[in-house]
Amino acid sequence: MSIASHENHLRVIGLTGGIAMGKSQVSHYLSHVYQLPILDADLYARQAVLSGSSILEAMVNRYGTEILQSDGTLNRNRLSHIIFTHATERTWVESQIHPWVRDRLTQDICLLQTNQGASTIVVVIPLLVEAKMTNLASEIWLVNCPVEHQLNRLMQRDSLTIELATNRIRSQLSFEEKCQRIPQDIPIFVLNNSSTLSFLYQQVDSCLRNVPHQDPINPDLSHTFP
């Protein structure tokens, strides 16, 4: 059951999609144009493995100190090599991080509603479906684009070879698999990011208006986007 419901008038938008699909573009637009609070699971995941954390300690016990930088912080490149090379290790790492992230997201959703009176909150969770966090959202926005676009964006963004980029894409569920695993009682809005940013933002505007039980959210037109 979702922590958001029509009864408490809380709208939690679960923004997700494959790697390099354009989730950040959507979340930045929602934040700057509509001033909506954004909770980013990737930021929480980074906090979960800060120096001195129990999760980082567990990782060091499993992989050794070679996953650490000289200052004792996590060497993300070395960890990435491990988890994208060995699926079992990716599963183990996610089993350490995901519960912590879920707890923090749940706490902060409640705090935003209780302390700030937020009625609409955006949670950006790349692995929303894979991590079984769909019940955090009252609706799910799924950003999608052709795989060849995704591959090119990922290679350019992270300076990856085609082999490494392909492995990272394959480590996540496909668009079709995500749709199939989302519970049927949660509305899904698909955002097509295969064209211009203007076209993407028009879809975002439309999705925000597509909730008849709530008052519409008005944009701040002082912010302009290409």
Domains in the chain: how many in total?
A: 1
Res 9: pLDDT: 81
Residue 221 lies in a domain: no
Residue 198 lies in a domain: yes
Residue 6 lies in a domain: no
Residue 191 lies in a domain: yes
pLDDT in tens, 86-112: 999 999 999 999 999 999 999 999 999
Q: Which residues pair with 139 in a beta bridge?
A: 13
Residue 216 lies in a domain: no
Res 89: pLDDT: 98
Residue 3 lies in a domain: no
Residue 226 lies in a domain: no
State the Cα–Cα distance between residues 85 and 42, nearest whole angstrom. 20
Res 210: pLDDT: 83
Residue 170 lies in a domain: yes
CATH of the domain at 201: 3.40.50.300
Residue 59 banded pLDDT, cuts 50, 70, 90: very high
pTM: 0.88
Q: Which domain holds residue 168?
A: 11-207
Res 216: pLDDT: 42
pLDDT in tens, 144-155: 999 999 999 999
